[in-house]
Structure 1
Amino acid sequence: MHFHDTEDSQYHRTLRQAAPEMVEAFGAFDAAVFGTEGALDARTKELIAIAVAATTQCPYCMDAHVTAAKKAGATEPEVAEAVMVASALRAGGALTHGWLALKQYDQP
């Protein structure tokens, strides 16, 4: 079994049947965030989403947001840079969590 398969979206129907109000609320929230332009345009929102998807390691999010970013006019170098920004933050998070290991080591 592969973890990520584009056919997995069929399970959204099951989720919607099991928790319809919550799925509807999530859909409305997602539409409010991505469906309208506010202070950020669609291209910028999608580049942020790609960076977050890289950090959270969500392959479904990556599929959806790279496609949307391309439609919104994002370039391949912009997508690559968004991923590298996320990579730097993830690495930085590991580094600063390492401080906690050293802090704990110093405890009696």
Structure 2
Amino acid sequence: MSAYQQSGDLALARDLMALAPVEAQAFLGLKAAAERGDGVIPEKYRELISIAVALTTQCAYCIDVHADNAARAGATREEIAETAFIAAALKAGAAVGHGLLALRLFDEASGR
């Protein structure tokens, strides 16, 4: 079996969109709005945010695309590194937050 998440798989994007055109257009509209160049948040920061989200959702394709976009928008290696650690800290914080939820739900289920 070949490896999962190969960058060449991005070539299948047109096929995927053609198979579900209504959904694809809705997705592309949201993507365009999020990545627009005329927003208050500058392009470089939008790309760093996109990388942080991609790291937490573990979307290799998103990391690929947005790392390239970030480089073209003037991001530095140091900014990418800081973004990675910020994303890691927030992902860890989310696990703690969900731990609070799990504890409360456990207490409710056990009659505490």
Q: What TM-score do the two structures reach when normalised by structure 1?
A: 0.89
Percent identity of equivalent pairs:
42
Aligned match of 2:75: 74
Could you tell which deviates more after superposition, 70-79 or 34-43?
Answer: 34-43
Q: Deviations over 1:19-48 (max 9, x none)?
A: 112212322321222132211010000000
Could you tell which deviates more after superposition, 50-59 or 13-22?
Answer: 13-22
**2:17 aligned with 1:12:** no
Q: What TM-score do the two structures reach when normalised by structure 2?
A: 0.86
Equivalent residue letter for 2:61: Y
Query: Which segments of 5 or more consecutive residues in structure 1 lack a partner in the other structure?
Result: none
* 1:88-99 equivalence runs, <5 A: 88-99=89-100
Aligned match of 2:44: 43
Equivalent residue letter for 1:76: R
Equivalent residue letter for 2:101: L
Q: Which runs of 4+ in 1 moved over 4 A?
A: none
| 1:70 aligned counterpart, secondary structure | helix
Output the aligned Cα RMSD: 1.5
